[in-house]
Amino acid sequence: MRGISVRGPDPVAGERVLILSAGVGSGHNSAAAAVQQACAARADIAEVQVLDVLQVSSALYRALLGKGYFVLVEDLPWLVEWGYDMSDPPFRRRGPIDPWTRANAVPIIRAITRFRPTAIVCTHFLPAQLVATLLLRGVVDARTAVVTTDYDFQGLSLTGAFHTLFVARQEGKAELMALGLPADRVVATGIPITTHEDVGTARDASEPPMLLISAGAAGGDDAVSVVRQTLHMRSPFSATVVCGRNDALRHRIEKLVAPAGDRYRVLGFSAEMPQLLRRADLFVGKPGGLSASECMAAGLPMVLVNPIPGQEVRNGDYLLEQGAAVRCNTAATIGWKIDQLLSEPGRLQRMQAAALRIGRPDAAADVLAGLLDGPSRPLVVTRAAQRTILAASEQNMVATDLTGPSSLVRLVDSAAGSTLALLQAEELGDLQKRYGAPEGDLVLRRDRAPGTLRWEARRLLRALLRGDDVLPVRVEGLAAPLPVLPA
């Protein structure tokens, strides 16, 4: 990766936006498509490219990460939950990219160098970690965004270098700020979803409630149990069942509901989902990040069934907390639970209002605005600062409680006011000796003898200076109380 420089074209020619995803489930690619759609609305973007990094990796790597995940979800869900919890603490993995991942990253790096982006948006942690490495090595010079696709923040999405981190809700931002991340580098936008201007007629309050039962894009067999239980409901309703790409499942459900006449409509993979979301009164399915965000934007409350351990369980917790969902922990009570919900006067309407309140239909546009109009220099978190953040997380401490040599300090761009780096207090020594200025500030310079600097300091300078020879920064501690965030 040495010796390559990816410099963006003349800004007058427009932004070149590269969107990197990974096809582990459909949500990450759906978020990438939403950001791509939002690019079309900006006149300052000249070209957009979307790349699923798994599609240019080896077949074995793609199978293990893509298909392997769903095998674990189906057969060993407890292992999925364990893996999620083990990888959740921020910066638990701080070392260089492992050799196997590095080998599979070669075609991705080639694609980046060919496209020469001025901005990179990552909707999965795999490309986000790779891009952070390229930033620190001076391989890329582009604004970079990390976009999370679930309501709860997961530690793998936190990398050692980025321009802006976009989280789904304010609690995620509060969590990161408590660990020392600066408020100007973390933005709560919601999860990017595609928008549809022509979505047809909205739900009709005079008709019986319509259930939208989703088996997911792959068509999970548990949808049969869900549909079977709705056959025993007493409340008036109609239902649309979307079976995804599983034709066998669609035929099974068609046979199951045949005695019910025209109460049920059974579909395979459908391009009508935006219209269905708008016409339905209640969604029944898994709380994937994108599915839940699309429902909330449409004001569609959810009945949660069989969430995947880890991220989907946490997504469900948020929706339950906000009053926009109910959860069924056993298939045998699904019909009863929906009956209870529909028979309580005003309850469905209150849940619909709660869903609309937390919906963020403009998240994709907000991500682009936050990145392209945001800081031009990256935020760098040194390895030592990463150790401090991990330790604080594991000890349930906040950054302002930390004292001594391992406490955190920030370097702030004196001219732009944006935070440029997080480092341990003891790391300041070498920098102050070499770049010290009056009143404790620093004037970072491109060294003629960089070999005399420690390796971490060289990485820091390379990432922050970019094309400049001099950069004045001020040093700030984290003793001040954290700012109050909106609810």
Q: What is the pLDDT of residues 65-96, one digit of tens each?
A: 666 666 666 767 777 778 778 888 898 875 55
| Of 374, 401, 427, the domain-final residue | 374
The share of the chain scoring above pLDDT 90, in percent, equals 59
> 64-86: string of b/e by CB count within 10 Å (b at 16+)?
ebbeeeeebbeeeeeebeeebee
Residue whose token pair is 């991220």: 311
Separation CA 153–CA 30 (nearest Å): 18
Lowest-confidence segment of 83-87, 200-204, 318-322 by average pLDDT: 200-204
Separation CA 33–CA 386 (nearest Å): 32
Helix, strand, coil % in the chain, rounded to nearest 5: 45, 20, 35
Q: How wide is the angle at C-alpha 401 spanned by C-alphas 396 and 406, nearest 5°?
A: 95
Residues 145 and 235 in one domain: no
Phi, psi of 150 (to 5 degrees): -135, 160
Question: Looking at this protein, which amino acid is placed at residue 421?
Answer: A
Confidence bin at 455 (pLDDT 50/70/90): confident
Residues 338 and 388 in one domain: no
Residues 389 and 481 in one domain: yes
**Tens digits of per-residue pLDDT, 347-398?**
999 999 999 999 999 999 999 999 999 999 999 999 999 999 999 998 888 8
Report how many domains make up the chain: 3
> Considering the domain boundaries, does residue 91 fall inside one?
yes
Domain encompassing residue 417:
377-487
What's the pLDDT at 215? 86
> Considering the domain boundaries, does residue 487 fall inside one?
yes
Read off the DSSP letter of residue 385. H
Residue 99: other Cβ atoms inside 10 A: 8
| Of 322, 344, 374, the domain-final residue | 374
Read off the DSSP letter of residue 238. E
What's the pLDDT at 420? 96
What's the pLDDT at 475? 92
- Is 11 a residue whose pLDDT tops 70? no
Separation CA 300–CA 209 (nearest Å): 12
Residues 58 and 168 in one domain: yes
**Is residue 135 within 8 Å of residue 153, measured between CB atoms?**
no
Residues 427 and 449 in one domain: yes
Higher pLDDT, 82 or 173: 173
The share of the chain scoring above pLDDT 70, in percent, equals 89
Using CA atoms, how far residue 203 sits from 175, 208, 250, 340, 409, in Å, is 37, 10, 25, 21, 53
Residues 236 and 328 in one domain: yes
**Is residue 253 within 8 Å of residue 220, measured between CB atoms?**
no
- Is 8 a residue whose pLDDT tops 50? no
Bridge partners, residue 143, by sequence = 119
Residue 232's Cβ-count burial label (10 Å; 0-12, 13-18, 19+) is: exposed
- Is 170 a residue whose pLDDT tops 90? yes
Q: Rounded mean pLDDT of 132-156?
A: 93
Residues 312 and 368 in one domain: no
Residue 133: other Cβ atoms inside 10 A: 19
Straight-line distance from the first to the last Cα atom of the chain, in angstroms, rounded to the nearest whole number = 43
The sign of the torsion formed by the CA atoms of 449, 455, 457, 460 equals: positive
Q: List the CATH number of the domain containing 276.
A: 3.40.50.2000
To 10 degrees, the CA torsion angle through 302, 306, 310, 312? -20
The torsion region of residue 138 among left (phi > 0), alpha (psi -120 to 50) and beta comes to left
What's the pLDDT at 84? 76
> 429-462: string of b/e by CB count within 10 Å (b at 16+)?
eebeebbeeeeebbebeeeeeeeebeebbebbbb
> Considering the domain boundaries, does residue 205 fall inside one?
no
Lowest-confidence segment of 198-202, 312-316, 319-323, 386-390 by average pLDDT: 198-202
Higher pLDDT, 335 or 70: 335
- Is 5 a residue whose pLDDT tops 60? no
The torsion region of residue 21 among left (phi > 0), alpha (psi -120 to 50) and beta comes to beta
Q: Rounded mean pLDDT of 233-250?
A: 91
Residues in Cβ contact with 459 at an 8 Å cutoff, skipping those fewer than 6 apart = 136, 137, 380
Residues 351 and 416 in one domain: no
Tell which residue, 26, 29, 6, 276, has the closest CA to residue 117.
6
- Is 137 a residue whose pLDDT tops 60? yes
What's the pLDDT at 347? 96
Question: Looking at this protein, which amino acid is placed at residue 154?
Answer: Q
Reduce the DSSP state of residue 436 to 3 states and report it.
strand
**Is residue 475 within 8 Å of residue 442, measured between CB atoms?**
yes
Q: Residue 49, CB half-sphere, CA atoms under 13 Å: how many?
A: 15
Confidence bin at 3 (pLDDT 50/70/90): very low
> Considering the domain boundaries, does residue 153 fall inside one?
yes
Confidence bin at 277 (pLDDT 50/70/90): very high
Read off the DSSP letter of residue 67. I
Confidence bin at 128 (pLDDT 50/70/90): very high
> Considering the domain boundaries, does residue 203 fall inside one?
no
**Is residue 160 within 8 Å of residue 371, measured between CB atoms?**
no
**Mean pLDDT of all residues in the chain?**
87
Residues 284 and 187 in one domain: no
